[in-house]
Structure 1
Amino acid sequence: MRIRHAATALALATAVTVGVTALPATATPAPGALAPAAVPATTAPARPTVQDIVNRLPDAVVAGALVRRDGVGIAAGPVIPDAYFRIGSTTKVFTNTVVLQLAAEHRVDLDAPARRYVPGVLPAAYDRVTVRRLLDHTSGLPRPAATPGPDDGPGWWLRSVTPEETLRRSFAEATGTPPAAGSVQQYNGLNSLVLGLIVERVTGRSFAHELERRIIRPLGLRHTSLPAADDPRIPSPHARVYVRGQDVTEQSPYPWAEGGVISTAADLDRFLTALFRGRLLPPAQQRLVFDIPAVPSAAGNTNCLGTEACFSVGGLMRYELPNHEYVWGKTGSRPGWDNGFFATRDLRHRVVYSLNPTGQGSPLPHIKALVTAALTD
């Protein structure tokens, strides 16, 4: 059964309340944003709390923010904790979970060539790419083909391409010799597109249907959805978000299994908790949720911020806090949103965040500060 959807490769996401606009790029930063208050030279500065960080927003880089720490919501600026947002690549954890469920049902062999399940999608040169290597980003697939951007004229964010078209273009534009499958980890949204197609070919139903049946409905995620390819809307309340002066609030949901889900902080918190507690997978597959391949991280794989692989078979990113404790989660983005979730392995602490970037600088320091403050005892 051939089911077509819209999809492509993007990477991070966020949210605020309906009718609220992101601050202009010239917004003045709040005094002392993300900087410790002045203290006597003999006194060590106190580590900022989540509330401290949120109180310093909005600033020139982040127009609004919501943070849910251990189930309690905090918001900055004209933002409400219940806002919907496009979760971007955080979707990948949902996608990997569905594939691992199919593996538990013996419908997908993780160590079988992916081409067995999606003939005609991957060129013969990738015949050694297994399903597992798609899950943990060691497939060696090429960089995603360029997608429409803000300079491509009015309505660029509504343009939609199918997963198959994105893959075809990416293989056609590939240059150089790809790394051997399984030799290095390079984060790549194409992996998730192939995984979504595998779900559809194996089940004979749409990826959205399987996501709803296997995760959204069982967990009662009433505010989580994967929109249809021709539906650019987002439920209210939500932000009005802009990129280079263009209102991009209504976007084509073309990232699909790679980054197309819409959700809320409360729903993501429930999903994260259920995943870590083993409610979605039996023990054998649950162990893979935190299993990272013993390979180096590819040069330029800035997602890992180091030389070792950091992405697990379950799609989670392992991140080291300043106190050297590892936490697990995922970041995601769509134009106008930056978001993610992280938790300690034992769920002692967990955090879901959603920011509205202005485009004036990187929100990464804000994200690191929030995750560190939220997950450090």
Structure 2
Amino acid sequence: MPVPVLAPSAVVPAYSVAKSFTAAAVLGDRLGIDPDRPVGDYLPAWVPDGYRRFPVRDLLAHRSGLPDYTALPAYREAVTAREDAWETAELLDRVLRMPWEGSPGQFRYSNVGYTLLRLCLEETGGGFLPVLRAAVLDPLGVTVHPLATREDWSGVTAGVARPSDYDPGWVYPGTFLARGADLAAGLAALLRSDLLAPDRRARMLEPQPVPVHGHPLDPAGYGMGVMTGGGPTRLVGHGGGGPGFTLAVLALADGTAGTGRAVSAEVDDRPLFAACREELETLSGSS
């Protein structure tokens, strides 16, 4: 039975959709981060040396070869048991002891890479969300609410059960609560704004192939913090999912329109992307 789509006005967890806005903050001029420099130039001193050599650009594009902490059995067990999240330092230490099977330059989705980028944002002075608001979200007119503690689940207005026993601290790259309509409008606004210099916007949207077949964005790619694809109708977006919710946000690459879908369940996001693509193709007159 299909899961009902939530209203665009519902406040839901952005989960990994936040990566698009994190990438925009990193690529923007306000924080002074050079994507071609090693990430170690911007990390706090306590981060182990094993993470410091990766170019920022490779972390943005999931091409560092870093593994994903979701492969840790202890992580999965702790989340299932609804335990408190580990400190970030403990997470990074555990990941250093994992097998690193990826190769630099090849696409391998890694929340660890975006955890390092979150630390870079925080190192510029302030918490993750205040920095993200000042650098990207406020200029784009995107209203967000914190999702960092269990108490923050009270901000969800989707009219559904909240997974209030889940510690959002497990989302190490950082996330927030927002209306689905605001996320879609914010992504579209980013694509047509001057928040990014033209060369950096081009790098963000440059499609690199990913090993995914049959996705609604075929031929699918990943730029820096955004999925790309859609054939003649150039589309840009990101999915997100975690306890209680799944969402997809998509926009036309020229920023003239954006849309999103969210459901109150952990499901495959492909039908959501397919519905978003169909809506945008209708708006743009493509098929």
TM-score, scaled relative to structure 1: 0.65
Residue 240 of structure 1 aligns with which residue? 160
1:297 and 2:210 correspond: yes
Pairing partner for 2:42 from 101, 105, 117: 117
Query: Are 2:286 and 1:366 aligned?
Result: no
For residue 342 of structure 1, report the CA deviation from its aligned partner: 0.7
User: Is the alpha carbon distance of 1:373 and 1:143 closer, same or farther for their aligned partners in structure 2, counting shifts above 3 Å?
Assistant: same
Which residue in 1 is equivalent to 2:198?
A: 283
Secondary structure of the residue aligned to 1:186 is coil
2:226 to 316, 331, 338: 316
Structure with a larger share of its residues in helix: 2
Which structure's CA Rg is the greater one?
Answer: 1
Provide Cα deviations, 1:71-100, integer angstroms capped at 9, x if missing partner.
Answer: xxxxxxxxx442111111001011111111
Residue identity matched to 1:225:
H
AA partner of residue 83 (structure 1): A
Shift of 1:167: 1.9
Which residue pairs with 1:137 in the alignment? 62
Letter paired with 1:273: A
Q: 1:82 aligns with which of 6, 9, 15?
A: 9
Where does the alignment leave 5 or more consecutive residues of structure 1 unmatched? 1-28, 30-58, 67-79, 242-246
Tell me the SS of whatever aligns to 1:234.
helix
| Percent sequence identity over aligned pairs | 23
Counterpart of 2:126, as a letter, is R
Q: Which runs of 5+ in 2 are unaligned?
A: none
**How many Å apart are 1:128 and its aligned residue?**
4.2
The code of the aligned residue for 2:109 comes to Y
- SS of match in other structure, 1:109: coil
- Which one of the candidate residues 204, 209, 219 is aligned to 2:125? 204
**Higher RCO, Cα 8 Å, sep 6+:** 1
Q: Which moved more, 1:109-118 or 1:225-234?
A: 225-234
Q: 1:356 to 1:106 in 2, by over 3 A?
A: closer
Structure 1 residues 1-377: aligned runs within 5 Å: 29=1, 59=2, 62=3, 64-66=4-6, 80-101=7-28, 104-105=29-30, 107-118=32-43, 119-124=45-50, 128-144=53-69, 145-146=72-73, 147-149=75-77, 152-153=80-81, 156=82, 159-172=84-97, 174-175=98-99, 177-179=101-103, 181=104, 183-201=105-123, 203-222=124-143, 224-229=144-149, 231-241=151-161, 248-249=163-164, 251-256=166-171, 258-293=173-208, 297=210, 310-313=221-224, 315-320=225-230, 324-357=232-265, 362-376=267-281, 377=285
Q: 1:284 deviation in Å? A: 2.9
C-alpha contact (below 8 Å) 1:350/1:374 kept by paired residues? no
Conserved 8 A contact 1:88-1:258: no
In 2, the alpha carbon distance for the partners of 1:365 and 1:230 equals 28
